[in-house]
Amino acid sequence: MDNVYTSVPPNPSPFDLQLSLLWVSSPCVTVKVSPGGVGIAATQLCKTVKDVTVFGTASASKHEVISQGGVTHTIDYRTRDYMDEIRKISPKGVDIVLDPLGGSDTNKAFNLLKPMGKLITYGAANVLTGPKKNLFAVAKSWYNHFSVNVQSLMNSNKAVCGFHLGYLDSEFELIAQVANKVLELYNQGKIKPRVDTTWHFEQVGDAMRRMQERNNIGKVILLPEPKKEEEKKEEPKKEEEKKDKKEDKKEDKKEDKKEDKKKEESKKEEN
C-alpha cells in the first residue's frame, strides 16, 4: 500500500483537542499545572466532551479551585508521585497528556499513555526554577530531555505532538478557525477565561514574579495603559499595610510560643 496523505489541522489546537477526545469512549486526560491560565482553559475544553475524566496536578492549596473548574481527580505533585496516583485510578493510563513541563516529566507523560494515546507538549517550565537563570536546571532538563524514535512510536501505538503558538503566526486560516470555535463555546457559556490579576506594564516584574512563584490561579494580564497617579499614591499605603500585617503575625507567633512554653513549664511543675 502506498503512503496516504490527508489534510487536517495540525495538533494541538483547542478544536483538535476536542476531536481527539470525541472518538474515545469515556476519555481520560491529564492536565499538568492545572491552576495556570492554559491549564484552566484546557480543563474547560475537556469538559465539553461527554464522560471525560480529568486528572489535574497542583499544590494542595489550589485543589478546591481546580475541582470547581472541572478537574475530576486532583493530585498534589509536591507530596505524591502523580504517575502512581493516576495508575491507582486508571491502571491502563490516560488517552491524552498535556505537558508544559518538559525534561523527565515528558518521559513520565509518554509512559502514562494508553495505546492510541496522545502526548501534547507545549512548554519547558522545568527549566525555570526562579527569577534568576539556573544553568544547573537547564543542564538537568537537557539531560532528561525526552527522545523517541519512529519505530517505538509505532510499536507502542502512541502519538507525540508539539505546540508553539509563536510559530503559527502565518497560519491565518487555522487560527481563525480555532478562534471562531472558541468564541462559539464562550457564547454558549461552556468556557470562560479566568483572570487571576491585572498589572500595568511598569509592574511587569511583579507580574512575572507571581507566575514564577506559582501563586496565580488563571491568567496574569498586562494592561497597556500607564498606571494612574491615584493608584501610584495608594501603592505605598498598601505596602505599609502588608508589612504591618506581617509584623502582627510575627508578634502573634511569638506570643503563642510564649504561652506554649508556659504551659509546658506548668505541666513539668505538676509532674
Residues 216 and 239 sit within 8 Å (Cβ to Cβ): no
Phi, psi dihedral angles at 37 (to 5 degrees): -60, -45
Q: In whole angstroms, what is the distance from residue 96 CA to residue 93 CA?
A: 9
| pLDDT given for residue 5 in this prediction | 34
| pLDDT given for residue 4 in this prediction | 38
Helices 37-46, 14-22: axis angle to 10 degrees equals 40
Q: In whole angstroms, what is the distance from residue 90 CA to residue 79 CA?
A: 20
Residue 197: beta bridge partners?
A: 220
Grid cell at residue 137: 536546571
Grid cell at residue 258: 510564649
Tens of pLDDT, residue by residue, the chain (271 residues): 444 333 333 344 454 555 555 555 567 887 876 778 888 999 999 898 888 899 999 989 999 999 999 999 999 988 999 999 999 999 999 999 999 888 888 999 999 999 999 999 988 877 766 556 667 766 776 667 788 889 999 999 999 999 888 898 899 998 899 899 999 999 999 999 999 999 998 899 999 889 888 889 999 999 988 877 666 556 665 666 666 666 666 666 666 666 666 666 666 666 5
Strands 159-162 and 195-200: unpaired
Strands 159-162 and 113-121: parallel
> Among all chains, which residue has been given the C-alpha cell 476531536?
19
| pLDDT given for residue 227 in this prediction | 79
Phi, psi dihedral angles at 261 (to 5 degrees): -65, -45
**Is the backbone peptide bond immediately before 91 cis, with ω within 30 degrees of 0?**
no
| pLDDT given for residue 246 in this prediction | 61
